[in-house]
Structures are given as structure tokens and as C-alpha cells.
Structure 1
Amino acid sequence: MYLSMQLSYYPLKDDFKPPVREVVKRLEASGLEVYPNRMSTQVFGEFDAVMDALSALMKWSFETYGKAAFTVNFLEGDRRPVSG
């Protein structure tokens, strides 16, 4: 099953940009299709791969940076942007 995910990450610290950049970098390294923008990051892939990547990312974030809020929307199916 294919999954589309929209993720917003809010590290609870004054210097929030480095953690946000690292989260996006780690998502991109996961092998999933990742489209970052100013407000959120869209992630696309097989259900288990997306959920495994999100679980590992959240654990790493909490262990590395401490408190943070993750806001996630899931939609079953392929909602990748159509180019053209």
C-alpha cells in the first residue's frame, strides 16, 4: 500500500533551524520520495517504509534534540505532485 504523508516538525528550542534541516536531511537519506517546503515536508512511499522512517526519525529527534512537536497527516494512496 502506498502512503502520502505531510510532516511538520517543531523543535522546542530557540535555535530551531539546524534540527529542522537535519530532520529533512534524514528523511531524504531514507530512500523515500521527499519534498520539503517552508511549512512542511511531504513524504511518499510504501506504508511500512514511511512508518518505519517516521518512527526512527522521531526517536532520533527526541534523543538528540529533546522536546519537539511533530504534526503529521496521512493519506492512503499516491498524492505526489503532478509535474507538467
Structure 2
Amino acid sequence: MAEHAVGLVPGAEPAAVRVDRTEDDVAVAVRVALGWPAPVREAAAEVRRSVVDEVERITGYRVRSVAVTVAELRTAPRTRVG
């Protein structure tokens, strides 16, 4: 679910996800790749919001934290002219 939530953010791709669950809440850590150029701080905040919203909506667990690590910035492939 957390991986799916990352994929809902335009330009973000999940690289790794870790979830630690207690009885009634979860902590999530995600590593993501972002398209470049991207406003990294804003994209990380959007990933965080998406993960919280989707995990809480689907599971009913409260998300106590989401740690987002930008592991890679990817440029769009260049097209050859000519």
C-alpha cells in the first residue's frame, strides 16, 4: 500500500519501503526516485501525504511517521535529433 501511494505522486517511483507496525499504528520509511528537475522538498512532502492518506484509508491504522529518503534523481531520456 505504501509503495502504491508513492506511485500516485507524479514523478516519484518507490525504490524501497519498510513498515514497522505496533498494535494500532505504523511507521513507514520509503526510499524514492524522483524525476529531475523536481522540487525535492515539495515532492517529498507530497509523498509523505500520499502515504499517510492511503495507508490510513486502506488499513485503518494510524500512521505515526513517514520517513522519505530521495535515493535518486532521474533525468528524462534525451531524444536524438536528426
* TM score, norm. by length of structure 2: 0.45
Q: Which structure shows the higher strand fraction?
A: 2
